[in-house]
Amino acid sequence: MMDREAMESDARQERMDRVAVLYGEITAATREFLRAVAECDEHRDWAEVGFASCIDWLAWRIGVSRMTASEKVRTARSLESLPVISDAMSLGELSFSKVRALTRVATPESEAELLAFARAASTASLERLVRGWKTMDRAGEQHVERLRHRTRSFSIFPDGEGMYLVRGRLTPEVAAVLKRAIEAASDALYAGTAQDDEPADPEQRRAEAVGLIAERALVGGFGGEGMPVSGSRAERYQVVLHVEPATLRADGEPGMSELEDGTRVSAENSRFS
């Protein structure tokens, strides 16, 4: 009788251990999946097949919602600069749910401390810690935003050789819009370029694109209707800002806001976007 009970107990323990082992393997495989996503994003593979962003491509490619794809892309990007958390996930020690929460607040300086808590805490406890951590960071974020605002600048001046130098310090939101505008103008300028023509290097293309942007701005004016890029190409050059619902509530808990490339945007600016 005792032998039978012992055998049943061993079998039960074996089944439960197998569940944990298999989930660890899934977690390790998920880290490889996220690494592959980050590589596709870095090389802009999604743009080559006609998608507006890595998020749009991933949602289509693996059949998930855009919100789910957005979280996976954000997490994949964040892990590239968080080696300690990345290694823990690769070893199957940390679930995607915990990693997703950690990457919302972790930095290379704080990841070890946060990981120690994550190992011992439930996912729910970890998410509460992350929310509190973001609240503490809110004052610092507001200070950084004020500093950004005070130090923004843009200047154009002659270099003494018949050319002009452009120098500036832009907020993340303005820089993102400018980058997308330059991409759109560059594509428009070189859309009909023959393959046997001598190609301009990227810096030359951007320089010519700035000229086209300025010309279009002057032609279109600044008080009337604009001249948007038409059709599906317009979506390719949109600046997408990902905002958590909490961010939109001025009196609520501070949420996350970031541009497509992962750059943080203050809650105040997000509400006006």
Across 222-242, average pLDDT? 52
> Rounded to 5 degrees, what are φ and ψ at 126?
-65, -40
Instruction: Work out the angle at residue 39's Cα, subtended by the Cα atoms of residues 38 and 43, and round it to the nearest 5 degrees.
Output: 115
DSSP helix/strand/coil, 121: coil
Confidence of residue 223 (pLDDT cuts 50, 70, 90): low
Average model confidence (pLDDT) across the chain: 81
* Dist CA 185 CA 228 (whole Å): 11
Considering the entire predicted model, what is its pTM? 0.53
Q: What is the mean pLDDT of residues 154-177?
A: 89
Q: Regarding predicted confidence, which is higher, 198 or 168?
A: 168
* Out of 101-110, 114-123, 152-161, 226-235, least confident range: 226-235
Q: Is the pLDDT of residue 5 over 90?
A: no
Across residues 69-87, what is the average pLDDT?
95
Lowest mean pLDDT among 20-34, 98-112, 194-208: 194-208
What is the band of 67 on the pLDDT scale with cuts at 50, 70, 90? very high
Q: Which residue type occupies 17? A: D
Across 65-92, average pLDDT: 95
Please name the amino acid found at residue 36. A
C-alpha–C-alpha distance, residues 80 and 83, integer Å:
7
Do the beta carbons of residue 236 and residue 52 sit within 8 Å? yes
CATH number for the 2-120 domain, one of 1.10.260, 3.80.10, 3.30.1360, 1.10.10? 1.10.10
**pLDDT over threshold 60, residue 236:** no
E strand map for the chain: 153-158, 164-169, 241-243, 257-259
Average pLDDT (15-31) is 92
In the chain, domain spans = 2-120, 153-236
Above 80 in pLDDT, residue 165? yes
Partners of 257 in beta bridges? 243
